[in-house]
Amino acid sequence: MSTELSEQEVIRRQSLQEIINLGINPYPAEAFEVNTHAADIYENYERDKLSYKNISIAGRIMSRRIMGNASFAELQDSTGRIQIYIKRDEICPGEDKALYNIVFKKLLDIGDIIGVKGYVFTTQTGETTIHVSLMTLLTKSLKPLPIVKTDEQGNTYDAFKDPEQRYRMRYLDLIVNPEVRDAFIKRTQLTNSMRSFLNNKGYLEVETPILQPIYGGAAARPFKTHHNTLDMTLYLRIANELYLKKLIVGGFEGVYEFAKDFRNEGMSRFHNPEFTQMELYVAYKDYNWMMNLVETMVEKVALDLHGTNEVKVGEHTISFQRPWKRFTMYEAIQHFTGIDISEMDEKTMAETAKSMGIHVDASMGRGKIIDEIFGEKCEGQLIQPTFITDYPEEMSPLAKKHRSKQGLVERFEAICNGKEICNAYSELNDPIDQRKRFEEQLELGKRGDEEAMVLDEDFLRAIEFGMPPTSGLGIGIDRLAMIMTNSNSIQDVIFFPQMRPEHKVEH
């Protein structure tokens, strides 16, 4: 990244100084009262013209056409763009006419933020326009915006198309490609829809620690840090599950949290090291009940965002109408591979996975191998929302043993558009069994599995006081937002995704 100024940046700084020399503050402290927005004018002006005789609006100059003593410009606010008309004799009466020529024609640039007052009218060409009677410079822009042009066919040519630069400079992306805001608006609508659904059921939204002395609740590598005052190692949470279950032990019957979680693992268009999950725990429920809740809640989200339970995602139309299809884990693998692995021991299963072209190493236990087979051969083929149920016990150290199927646990994942969007259990509340499962995870860790869980004595102590039968759920908000906004990458639904450091340009 270069710190050397471009020719345009030098000119803009010179303009800034000239503006200051004229006695104009390019960054005024006074508030500028805004009483309308571009979208409001377009939506309501024709049917209520009297309400737009004295308007005040602010935004960024996105284009200009100077024609002697009058000019047109395009102003962009948070809701869209609108044309403004500026006449020298009206905004700069008397001896101040020179200001129009000096400031607006020579010293203001595309990207500058101004406030204008005036009235709305319709031009002879039918363009809804603001006739400006007062103009105030609110912010002088010192860097030029990328050029954006639209041809006669409506095709947009944008100098700011490099995805890496757009993610790195999201603020600039939002200026020159304002349509990207729609995905983030829908993301907020998504979380609001889920909140209202859960609040209406009487569940309590809570907050749990992000810095944890023992990371747990998932199988993942953590980020590690150090607290100087306490002289102790802390970890950024990989999940908030164990803390939320402690609240169930404490007597709450339903708690949920929209949580920032952190996992020190690979990055892709489906993975960001910092991501958002909504986790929910409800006492006296099981995973069958939770499947019905997930179907109902996600269908509601689709209806709230799109007015229909069908959502276009790439080349697919995904229907969230209940009921969703269901496979057990073993059924799904047999369905997509033709091989029944349910009775195989670890050695046979490893050989079978290798015969399918799947990498297997000594650190992988039976559960990890099953997970790899499912991920490679099944997950990507599940486009319509599908519940995968009844996982092998080795894959799920926090889930309750299946009530009728030996060696399995009461767990499900929802897969949609080829990726997991949620994970849920009938939660394990037997403290003796839970300790045994943690110890098995420790053995996997000794074999080299960096994602194996650690043993949490405080959590074990909590459930030894008695945790009621409970069902728990984790929904990946980023992945669900990708689907609900038809986004191809997780970076498209995270304002500021993690990026590699910028390379400095050597001169």
**DSSP per-residue letters across 390-430:** EEEGGG-TTBPBPSSSTTEEEEEEEEETTEEEEEEEEB---
pLDDT above 80: residue 462: yes
- Among residues 239, 232, 252, which one has the least CA distance to residue 210? 239
User: Sorting pLDDT into bands at 50, 70 and 90, what band is 502?
Assistant: confident
Across the range 149-161, mean pLDDT stands at 64
Contact status, residue 114 vs residue 58, Cβ threshold 8 Å: yes
User: Residue for token digits 């725990």?
Assistant: 281
Taking the C-alpha atoms of residue 503 and residue 501, their distance in angstroms, rounded to an integer, is 6
Query: Which tokens belong to 3?
Result: 């710190």
Taking the C-alpha atoms of residue 61 and residue 109, their distance in angstroms, rounded to an integer, is 7
pLDDT above 50: residue 42: yes
pLDDT value at residue 506: 47
pLDDT digits (tens, 9 = 90+) for 165-213: 899 999 999 999 888 999 999 999 999 999 999 999 999 999 999 999 9
Across the range 465-489, mean pLDDT stands at 97
Compute the Cα dihedral for 453, 454, 460, 462 and give only its sign.
negative
Q: Which of these ranges, 318-327, 395-404, 416-425, has the smallest mean pLDDT?
A: 395-404
pLDDT value at residue 101: 63
- Residues in Cβ contact with 449 at an 8 Å cutoff, skipping those fewer than 6 apart: 363, 364, 365, 368
Helix and strand numbers (H, E) in the chain are 15, 20
Domains and CATH numbers, the chain: 7-145 (2.40.50.140), 181-263+276-324+384-488 (3.30.930.10)
pLDDT above 80: residue 148: no
- Among residues 50, 127, 46, 123, which one has the least CA distance to residue 81? 127
pLDDT digits (tens, 9 = 90+) for 234-264: 999 999 999 999 999 999 999 999 999 999 9
Contact status, residue 338 vs residue 319, Cβ threshold 8 Å: no
Across the range 209-224, mean pLDDT stands at 91
Helix (H/G/I), strand (E/B), else coil: 189: helix
pLDDT digits (tens, 9 = 90+) for 334-384: 999 999 999 899 999 999 999 999 999 888 888 889 989 999 999 999 999
Computed over every residue of the chain, the mean pLDDT equals: 91
When comparing pLDDT for 100 and 68, which is higher? 68
Across the range 131-148, mean pLDDT stands at 90
Alpha carbon of 34 to those of 31, 57, 115: distances in Å?
9, 5, 8
Alpha carbon of 189 to those of 81, 160, 201, 300, 350: distances in Å?
23, 27, 19, 11, 44
Alpha carbon of 213 to those of 236, 257, 305: distances in Å?
9, 20, 39
Most confident option among 68-77, 180-189, 214-223: 180-189
pLDDT digits (tens, 9 = 90+) for 334-347: 999 999 999 899 99
Taking the C-alpha atoms of residue 506 and residue 414, their distance in angstroms, rounded to an integer, is 49
Percent of the chain whose predicted confidence (pLDDT) is above 70: 94
Percent of the chain whose predicted confidence (pLDDT) is above 90: 74
pLDDT value at residue 454: 82
pLDDT above 90: residue 94: no
Taking the C-alpha atoms of residue 469 and residue 467, their distance in angstroms, rounded to an integer, is 7
Q: Fill in the amino acid letter for 344.
A: M
When comparing pLDDT for 389 and 448, which is higher? 389
User: Sorting pLDDT into bands at 50, 70 and 90, what band is 265?
Assistant: confident
User: Sorting pLDDT into bands at 50, 70 and 90, what band is 473?
Assistant: very high
